[in-house]
Structure 1
Amino acid sequence: MQVRFSLGLLRMLLPIRDLCPPYREPVAQDSAQQAPAARAAPSAPARVLLPLILPALVVGVGSSLLYLLVSGVAERLQGALWGDLPDALGIGRYSVAWMVVMLTATGVLVGLVVWKAPGHAGPDPATLGLAAAPPSPAVVPGLLLATMLMLAGGPSLGPENPIIMANAALALWLGRRLRPGLPGSLWPALAEAATIGALFGTPVAAALVVSEALAGRPMKGALWDSLFAPLAAGAAGAMTTGLVAHPTFDLGLPPFGPPRWGDTLAVLVIASAGALLGLAAVQAFPYVHRAFARLRHPMLTLPAGGLVLGLLGAVGGHLTLFKGLSEVAELARHPEDRTAGQFAAMAVVKLAALLVAASCGFRGGRIFPSVFIGAALGLAAHALVPAVPPAPAVAAGVLGMLLAITRQGWVSLFTAAVLVSSPTILSLLCLASLPAWLLVTGRPQMQLRTDGTAVR
């Protein structure tokens, strides 16, 4: 069902890009000049695209296997640190003392890796977006070790950014040696698409991200020529993940039927509220990052951040720890068990934890924690106004939060839609994205320049 829904989503969303080309100031031209400009760019012949299939498939499978390896090791380590070890010591698994100790110790261990590993486990993650320049291959072991420790220890970040960087670095390094005739820029693009496909379990997400990256860039050929190799890599990554791990994003919320007028108003309000809540964290991001940067050393900044995260976990409970994907499923399993105030408090605590973890130097991404925050906000709205169905409320909350945190429109729409197994949610989400995007566009992003100022 997820595959059919994803293919339908791609058919509905991708043509929008062609209907809304980037605006350019008109330039006066004579008729002889205008005629060539009006012609469509020629499509690439099959002989140009066929040699890209094998590299794309290899990168797709390899990227997925690396992601699964990192995730599997992190899950095993998490089970030992948060299950076997406290049980052996006779301490509550999620007691306040254990959460504070574990998050602080995670900061110490990750700080040690960042301090001593070659390349310091990559650049400051506060300066990175979803995709970044591939680091040197020597940086990859430290980056992956820091990521596994972070995922197991409980900070509120996901694996997407460091896994994309690691896969891009390895694909570029190997690709240049095995296929030197192919352009160097191809390999990071394949790795990014493959990793996104592996993360979401479908190549649709990769196609949407690549199409968004191509927007506004001059293309030498048709759009699908540019998408051909990344889509193959994304499909290979998604298929590998699906065959090995069987991932799903469906939260199992009550089915949502045909939308009503009241649902339209609800998603407009909830998505806008999610965008505003996310913007509050974005505005605070440079200041929190500057506060941790004053400590100057990773063995100070990361343990201090871990201590703050442990205290936040003590306030919000264990569901506000970790990347949030398993936790949001547990949160949505029984939406009637908590009050609106409890859901709202968890959303605020998780947002604060995301802000701290992203500011103090933990290696990780912001998509999965944002999903938890948006879902908690949507469930708070449902608890406050029971007439609002939980499915559109959760999807709208996730949409608004992701738009504010990532500024990735396609990723935000796709992620919000796949949480709810209902194609009828798409029309509501497209409407809800409009006021939310008006709120976030042109505002500072949750990404900093090297001088500490926010990227716009």
Structure 2
Amino acid sequence: MFTIYAAVLGLCVGLVSGAFLTLVNLLSQLLWEIVPVSFDLPIYYPIIFGLIGGVLVGLFQIYVGDYPKSMEDTMEEFKATKAVKYKKKLAKNFLGAVLVLSFGASLGPEAALACILGGLVTWVGDHLKFTFARREEFLKLGIGAMLATIFNAPLAGISEPLEEEYTSKTRRLKWKKLVLYALTTAFGLVGFSLVEQLVPKETIFKIRIPVVDWTPQAFLLAIPALLVGIAFGCLFLALETFSDKLAEKIQRPLLLAVLAGLLLGSLAMISPYFLFSGEHDLLPLSENYQQMTAGFLLFLAVGKIFLTNLSFAFGWRGGKIFPAIFAGAAIGFAFVNLFPYTPGLLTAIIVAASVTVILKQAIVTASLLLLLFPLQFFPAILLACFIAQKFSAFWTKAPPEKSV
């Protein structure tokens, strides 16, 4: 019966994820494409929208609360209380996420979806009388399926049990758990595909790599690329800490949200790549990066992660995985602009190393990147993830496990 419940959960996750992303995409297109053209808005309209969004987000934070919760907060609440509150909470998480994402925040949808899933799992557990252990497993199954669907990464759904076995002392794989995760993920992808068939959309979360031309220089540059990726991941974490401390000093929700909105609008005036999570922008960036200077790509990468962390700390709450991958790709393209030898391989190594340092989960990161780059690069991606995870664990003196 639990297997049947898991399959149904996966299907529901796919349907909910697809519907949520479709709604956010439609609202974003309305606000950022249709409205400016229809009303012939001035060229500085991104600043206007950023300030309006800042005021709305600030008022939402004051009168409703800090929503949506992050994935980490959702898991901590679940472990502490054996539940995720869903009565009068699901609507707040949903509305908070739609508001932030529609106004172009450099954040992803995974945080809101994790909150919604947590409430759904708690509701199911209340009605089916699951034990806490089963409830926790049910939630992890749902989050795995959600990551697989929104990142177009089927292996992300089974990465959690693989990560647990890799970081455990026994290294004994529990095949029943792996099959259960795979089943949930498969039904999640089916549900997501059903929504896509109803509302077709452009290809997202893709990088276009030209025909792979292996060069010996690329192997010599693999170590420098790995170090660049690790350093960029450390910079992301440093900016995260800086943004949190800065927000603690100001402690005025409305002012914080408006400042974040002003920064968002100002950077969007420089480049539209600063808007949104980056899932839709990876493909055009990969097609046009050769027409950009390495300096601009470096500015884009650093500006993106600064905007993401500052926005989150200042009340524009959401997920950080999509922006981290986009920024890692930007820094990778800057690197290969200077050293154009098998650019896809070097970019993949930089993205893999940087995201692993941020998430502190090698297998999860590798699974998210599986279909983003050509399969020929996957062994290098996997190796870069493991090396970066070891470095991160050694540098922080902390265990490598961390919920995404």
Q: TM-score range by the shorter chain?
A: 0.7 to 0.9
| Aligned AA (1:393) | L
Alignment match, 2:119: 169
| Aligned AA (1:282) | L
| Aligned AA (1:151) | L
Q: CA deviation at 1:314?
A: 3.0
CA distance in 2, matches of 1:298, 1:428: 44
SS state of the match for residue 326, structure 1?
coil
Q: For each residue in 1:393-452, what CA deviation from the matched residue of structure 2 results, as whole angstroms up to 9, or x when unmatched?
A: 22122112201221121122223332122x22123223433553344224459xxxxxxx
| Aligned AA (2:135) | G
Alignment of 1:244-255 (within 5 A): 244-245=195-196, 249-255=205-211
Q: Check whether the contact 1:160–1:196 (CA below 8 A) recurs between aligned residues.
A: yes
| Aligned AA (1:309) | L
Alignment of 1:138-153 (within 5 A): 138-153=88-103
Alignment match, 1:203: 154
Structure 1: any 5+ residue segments left out of the alignment?
A: 1-50, 446-453
Max Rg structure: 1
Q: CA deviation at 1:302?
A: 1.8
Q: CA deviation at 1:323?
A: 0.5
**Alpha-carbon spacing, 1:184–1:430, altered in 2? closer, same or farther (3 Å):** closer
CA distance in 2, matches of 1:77, 1:306: 18
Instruction: Determine what percentage of the aligned residue pairs are the same residue.
Output: 23
Q: For each residue in 1:50-82, what CA deviation from the matched residue of structure 2 results, as whole angstroms up to 9, or x when unmatched?
A: x22211111111112221222111111111111
| Aligned AA (2:206) | D
Alignment of 1:54-453 (within 5 A): 54-92=4-42, 95=43, 97-117=44-64, 120-123=66-69, 125=70, 128=72, 131-134=75-78, 135-137=84-86, 138-178=88-128, 180=130, 183-213=134-164, 215-216=166-167, 223-245=174-196, 249-256=205-212, 259-315=214-270, 317-386=271-340, 388-421=341-374, 423-444=375-396
Please, what is the CA RMSD of the aligned residues?
Answer: 2.8
Q: For each residue in 1:75-122, what CA deviation from the matched residue of structure 2 results, as whole angstroms up to 9, or x when unmatched?
A: 111111111221233125xx4x222221222222223333333x6425
CA distance in 1, matches of 2:125, 2:386: 41
Aligned residues: 387
| Aligned AA (1:107) | G
CA distance in 1, matches of 2:96, 2:312: 14
**Alpha-carbon spacing, 1:139–1:267, altered in 2? closer, same or farther (3 Å):** farther
Q: CA deviation at 1:325?
A: 0.9
SS state of the match for residue 71, structure 1?
helix
Structure 2: any 5+ residue segments left out of the alignment?
A: 79-83, 198-202
**Alpha-carbon spacing, 1:365–1:267, altered in 2? closer, same or farther (3 Å):** farther
**Alpha-carbon spacing, 1:305–1:213, altered in 2? closer, same or farther (3 Å):** farther
CA distance in 1, matches of 2:180, 2:385: 29
Q: For each residue in 1:359-411, what CA deviation from the matched residue of structure 2 results, as whole angstroms up to 9, or x when unmatched?
A: 2122211111111111111111221122x222112212211220122112112
CA distance in 1, matches of 2:239, 2:288: 32
CA distance in 2, matches of 1:70, 1:261: 45
Q: Check whether the contact 2:204–2:279 (CA below 8 A) recurs between aligned residues.
A: no
CA distance in 1, matches of 2:66, 2:107: 19
SS state of the match for residue 362, structure 1?
coil
Alignment match, 2:81: none
**Alpha-carbon spacing, 1:89–1:293, altered in 2? closer, same or farther (3 Å):** farther
Q: For each residue in 1:34-59, what CA deviation from the matched residue of structure 2 results, as whole angstroms up to 9, or x when unmatched?
A: xxxxxxxxxxxxxxxxx222111111
Q: CA deviation at 1:157?
A: 0.8
**Alpha-carbon spacing, 1:78–1:179, altered in 2? closer, same or farther (3 Å):** same
SS state of the match for residue 89, structure 2?
helix
CA distance in 2, matches of 1:64, 1:155: 23
**Alpha-carbon spacing, 1:159–1:59, altered in 2? closer, same or farther (3 Å):** same
CA distance in 2, matches of 1:426, 1:77: 35
**Alpha-carbon spacing, 1:308–1:82, altered in 2? closer, same or farther (3 Å):** same
| Aligned AA (2:376) | T
Q: Check whether the contact 1:264–1:428 (CA below 8 A) recurs between aligned residues.
A: no
CA distance in 2, matches of 1:395, 1:197: 19
| Aligned AA (2:269) | A
| Aligned AA (1:136) | K
Relative contact order, CA 8 A, sep 6+: which one is greater?
A: 2
**Alpha-carbon spacing, 1:150–1:179, altered in 2? closer, same or farther (3 Å):** same
**Alpha-carbon spacing, 1:300–1:288, altered in 2? closer, same or farther (3 Å):** same
CA distance in 2, matches of 1:285, 1:196: 22
Deviates most, 401-410 or 367-376: 401-410
CA distance in 2, matches of 1:383, 1:222: 42
CA distance in 1, matches of 2:226, 2:318: 25
Q: CA deviation at 1:215?
A: 4.7
| Aligned AA (2:259) | A
Q: For each residue in 1:268-327, what CA deviation from the matched residue of structure 2 results, as whole angstroms up to 9, or x when unmatched?
A: 322321220221231232232121233324323222222222223334x11121100111
CA distance in 1, matches of 2:241, 2:289: 34
Q: CA deviation at 1:140?
A: 1.6
